[in-house]
């Protein structure tokens, strides 16, 4: 499909940025899965030597399947490059991530990298962030109280949308790799993304949010016709 082709060509272009001996953060989601597969090919067929640090258990599993040597972030300490997907990106290369439920490890790994490259199909590009529900990771203890505090905060911040929903996995609440839950904030539009990113993490019970501000260095945009654009 054109969307799949867009994701693949973006992933392929980003894979070409990976050099021998690099420690590479491996993102989560369907676009990042194409990257992991491309790198697996390069390891198997071209003898590329890299160490991969996955951003979720499912990425770790895929990386093992395709023959990429993986290590923990603690073993790697710091990474040369992290390549990951996004749910939205704007002209400042700020992102909304977390659609795949891995935003906590993704943000930690992306921050612990010399460079973060996002791979995304054109549909992820937005004028302003917020149409995609903003994921917020919360600890299970008192999560409904945390949800109420979040909604009060949104009222105070006068954002357009104020609804928050618990992310489900089937008919149970989704549980992240760290054993937390995710609340999705339906804001329609965020406006001041820096303020939102700071305020959300001050609320007791909130672990992390899906706003990636001043973290992404490059976005590789894939198009359905196979075209690729690199935005720095």
Write out the residues near ligand DER by the rule CB under 6 A. 27-32, 84-87, 97-100, 102-103, 106
Q: Which is nearer to ligand DER, 65 or 151 (CB)?
A: 65
The CA distance from 213 to 195, in Å, is 10
Q: Binding site annotation covers 33?
A: no
* Least distance to ligand DER, CB of residue 212, Å: 9
Cα–Cα distance measured from residue 113 to residue 126, given in angstroms and rounded to the nearest whole number: 25
Is 164 annotated as ligand-binding? no
DSSP string covering 81-97, please?
A: EEEE--SEE-TT--EE-
Minimum CB distance to ligand DER smaller for 5 or for 151:
5
Q: Which of 88, 106, 137, 208 is catalytic?
A: 106
Query: 40 labelled as ligand-binding?
Result: no
Instruction: For residue 75, indicate whether it is catalytic.
Output: no
Categorise residue 226: left if φ over 0, alpha if ψ from -120 to 50, beta otherwise: left
**Which lies closer to ligand DER via its Cβ, residue 49 or residue 125?**
125
Question: Is 124 labelled as part of a ligand binding site?
Answer: yes
Q: Which is nearer to ligand DER, 20 or 92 (CB)?
A: 92
Q: How far is the CB of 99 from ligand DER (least distance, A)?
A: 3
Residue 195 burial by Cβ neighbours in a 10 Å radius (0-12, 13-18, 19+): exposed
- Least separation in angstroms between residue 152's CB and ligand DER is 26
State residue 5 phi and psi, 5-degree precision. -65, -40
3-state class of 198 per DSSP? helix
Nearby residues of 178 by Cβ (< 8 Å), 6 or more positions away: 104, 105, 137, 207
Q: Residue with structure tokens 């001050």? A: 202
Q: Is 59 annotated as a binding residue?
A: no
**Shortest distance, position 97 Cβ to ligand DER, whole Å:** 3
Q: Residues annotated as binding site for substrate?
A: 28-31, 84-87, 97-100, 124
- Active site members: 106
Q: Residues annotated as binding site?
A: 28-31, 84-87, 97-100, 124
């Amino acid at each position: 499909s054109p969307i799949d082709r867009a994701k693949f060509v973006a992933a392929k272009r980003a894979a070409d940025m990976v050099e021998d001996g690099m420690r590479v953060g491996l993102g989560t989601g369907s676009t990042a899965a194409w990257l992991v597969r491309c790198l697996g090919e390069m390891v198997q067929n071209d003898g590329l030597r890299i160490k991969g640090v996955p951003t979720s258990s499912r990425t770790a599993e895929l990386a093992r399947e395709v023959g990429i040597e993986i290590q923990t972030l603690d073993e790697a300490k710091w990474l040369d490059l992290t390549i990951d997907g996004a749910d939205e990106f704007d002209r400042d290369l700020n992102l909304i991530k977390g659609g795949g439920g891995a935003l906590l490890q993704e943000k930690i790994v992306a921050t612990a990298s010399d460079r973060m490259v996002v791979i995304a199909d054109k549909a992820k590009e937005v004028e302003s962030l917020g149409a995609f529900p903003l994921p917020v990771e919360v600890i299970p203890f008192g999560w409904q109280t945390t949800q109420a505090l979040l909604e009060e905060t949104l009222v105070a911040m006068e954002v357009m949308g104020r609804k928050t929903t618990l992310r489900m996995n089937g008919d149970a609440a989704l549980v992240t790799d760290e054993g937390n839950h995710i609340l999705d904030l339906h804001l329609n539009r965020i406006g001041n993304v820096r303020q939102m990113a700071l305020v959300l993490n001050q609320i007791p019970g909130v672990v992390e949010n899906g706003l990636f501000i001043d973290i992404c260095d490059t976005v590789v945009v894939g198009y359905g016709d196979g075209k690729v654009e690199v935005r720095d």
